[in-house]
Structure 1
Amino acid sequence: MKTPPIGLPPRNGEENQKMRDELQRLSDQQSRLFAQLQAGENHFKQLARSVWRVQENERRRLARELHDGIGQHLTALHHRLHGLARNPGCSVDERLQQASTLCETAISEVRALSRMLRPQILDDLGLSAALQWLARYSSEDSGCMIEVDVGDLPEDFDSELSTLIFRVAQEALANALKHAQAKHVVMRLTRRANHLLLLIVDDGCGCDVERAWRRSSESESSGLASMRERVNLFGGQLELISQPGEGLQLRVRLPLTVEPGES
């Protein structure tokens, strides 16, 4: 019969049970940690795939606009100039005017594409001016009435957070105009304590919210998924409220870092 080491009293059944319970607790805790790590790894994999999908969709859109718009204008311009070189005495003034018009159209489309990729006004004048510009540009292009109300923002507003809000507003407006066929959109950005609240309401055709989220999770539509994932990366929440035929509300709540001394 084995004896306990010198100086240690023999363990009774109650102590052994406590040790087994503690070991089981540690084992369960370890299993939960491994499960959380696995869930986190899966989440980051999904996020990486979503980012990649959004990037590819954006590249596809840019390639289509460059080919169908600017590319065609430059090709037509080339034909006009080539025709002038071959027949210099045939309607020179008219062909030069056509070539000039094609140049102006191509330049205009390049500038519009550049502004939508990264509007200079966002860096030069800030988020409020950029949202006003976005609303005016979208309204002129679609005929939709778009109202913008931006409250007081911190003077040293974080540029990445500013970009995030602009991109969410840009995507939400695109959805409202292209898919929901909205005629009136209201956009409000306000500060509440240490948070920013973005509200975008449209009078479009609305949607089944659960179905919209399901489609986004199944990669059928990347715009909604990319908005939610970008907001989540900044510790925020994005909520949709809608019913078919009743318009849509998009609500975003983002934490705002407050510098010492600010209220």
Structure 2
Amino acid sequence: MSLFWRIFALNAVVLGTATALLLWAPVTVSVPVLLTEAIILLGGLAVMLVANAALLRWGLTPLDRLTRLMTTVDLLRPGQRLSAHGGGELAELIRTFNSMLERLEQERAASSGRALLAQEAERRRIAQELHDEVGQSMTAILLGLKRAADDAPGPLREDLREVQEITRDSLDEVRRLVRRLRPGVLDDLGLVSALTSLTEDFATHTGLQVTRRFAADLPALDPETELVLYRVAQESLTNAARHAEAGGVVVTLEHSDARVALAVTDDGCGIKAPREGAGILGMRERALLVGATLDITPAPRAGTQVKLTVPLPRKQPTS
């Protein structure tokens, strides 16, 4: 039934019921109208209006649900759909909206994937140039400073030693930036080693206590999934250091037959509602890239927990 005929039918039911009551009820209207008659008429009108409003509310509820979803839908949280039963214009409208959401989510995931792959390629290029150009140049400067310091007189030697230390610290910082831009250990030794190196480097530079709880027999993951897990852990640790006012962080990596879950939990000030800044939006886009789910919730005791759940491919039955 179309929306027009549905509303028409609802009003027809109300008006028909009111007409039947007027025809069959032993009630007459005097001239002038008596008080009791006015009360009965006004009461009947009120009942008719309430019944009409209730029926219209029932008939238009799908439109209200559709409006709420349209104002709150988030393409970074896929899977939000409305149920559509039967035929008619409303059901067809809901099914069309669901199909549109499906296409938009697929297009958003594809475009985000292309952007993230381009971003990783650019990070790899910058890391390579820092390592090859800047790193080698600074290493040559260190060697030149060492030779100059060895041949310099006493007072000048001390100054050159100080410059040498400053240059060495700068070279260490460049190497740290290279590891953040492109974790070579992830390609060479795998996810667990990369996360171990990441957390150790994080603890060294922030002073926070980091506890690692990694499952021993993690399944083999494709490089794209490992990179997403690594980047989400990296961004979560950065947020904990910058915003959480935490004293410690727990990083867990566990798995079951159907999923791999990464959780980064801090003991900081906690959150009332996660602020969707660039870092969180970036994590959600990375989660979409591998079909994962990202949840940011208050930790069980205090602080904040960032949890990334990655579904594993279904195992094909062996014949």
Secondary structure of 1:44 counterpart: helix
After TM superposition, the score normalised by the length of structure 2 is: 0.54
Higher radius of gyration, 1 or 2: 2
1:225 is aligned to 2:281: yes
1:242 is aligned to 2:298: yes
1:78-97 correspondence to structure 2 within 5 Å: 91-97=155-161
Seen in structure 2, the aligned counterparts of structure 1 residues 236 and 31 have a Cα distance that, compared at 3 Å, is closer
Secondary structure of 2:302 counterpart: coil
**Distance between the aligned counterparts of 2:285 and 2:94, measured in 1?**
29
Seen in structure 2, the aligned counterparts of structure 1 residues 32 and 185 have a Cα distance that, compared at 3 Å, is same
Seen in structure 2, the aligned counterparts of structure 1 residues 250 and 89 have a Cα distance that, compared at 3 Å, is closer
Aligned to 2:218: 153
RMSD value, Cα: 4.4
- One-letter code aligned to 2:182: R
Aligned to 2:230: 166
**Distance between the aligned counterparts of 2:174 and 2:160, measured in 1?**
21
* Offset at residue 34 of structure 1 (A): 9.4
Seen in structure 2, the aligned counterparts of structure 1 residues 29 and 188 have a Cα distance that, compared at 3 Å, is same
After superposition, the C-alpha distances for 1:78-106 in whole angstroms (9 at most, x for unaligned) are xxx9xx9xxx9894423432332233122
2:309 is aligned, of 250, 253, 258, to: 253
Aligned to 2:69: none
* Offset at residue 127 of structure 1 (A): 0.5
* Offset at residue 33 of structure 1 (A): 6.7
Whether the aligned pair in 1 keeps the contact of 2:293 and 2:310 (CA below 8 Å) is: yes
Secondary structure of 1:199 counterpart: strand
* Offset at residue 174 of structure 1 (A): 0.7
Moved more, 222-231 or 35-44: 35-44
After TM superposition, the score normalised by the length of structure 1 is: 0.64
After superposition, the C-alpha distances for 1:114-170 in whole angstroms (9 at most, x for unaligned) are 01111221111111111111111111111111111111212x421110010000000
Seen in structure 2, the aligned counterparts of structure 1 residues 30 and 237 have a Cα distance that, compared at 3 Å, is closer
**Distance between the aligned counterparts of 1:200 and 1:194, measured in 2?**
20
**Distance between the aligned counterparts of 1:256 and 1:41, measured in 2?**
20
Seen in structure 2, the aligned counterparts of structure 1 residues 137 and 41 have a Cα distance that, compared at 3 Å, is closer
Secondary structure of 2:263 counterpart: strand
- One-letter code aligned to 1:153: L
- One-letter code aligned to 2:211: E
- One-letter code aligned to 1:167: R
Whether the aligned pair in 2 keeps the contact of 1:47 and 1:229 (CA below 8 Å) is: no
**Distance between the aligned counterparts of 2:237 and 2:213, measured in 1?**
15
Q: Which runs of 5+ in 1 are unaligned?
A: 1-22
**Distance between the aligned counterparts of 1:34 and 1:206, measured in 2?**
35
Moved more, 37-46 or 100-109: 37-46
Seen in structure 2, the aligned counterparts of structure 1 residues 261 and 98 have a Cα distance that, compared at 3 Å, is farther
**Distance between the aligned counterparts of 1:113 and 1:248, measured in 2?**
26
1:100-249 correspondence to structure 2 within 5 Å: 100-151=164-215, 152-154=217-219, 156-209=220-273, 212=274, 215-216=275-276, 221-242=277-298, 246-249=302-305
Seen in structure 2, the aligned counterparts of structure 1 residues 96 and 146 have a Cα distance that, compared at 3 Å, is same
**Count of aligned residue pairs for this structure pair:** 212
After superposition, the C-alpha distances for 1:208-262 in whole angstroms (9 at most, x for unaligned) are 22xx2xx42xxxx20011111211221111111128x931112221111255579
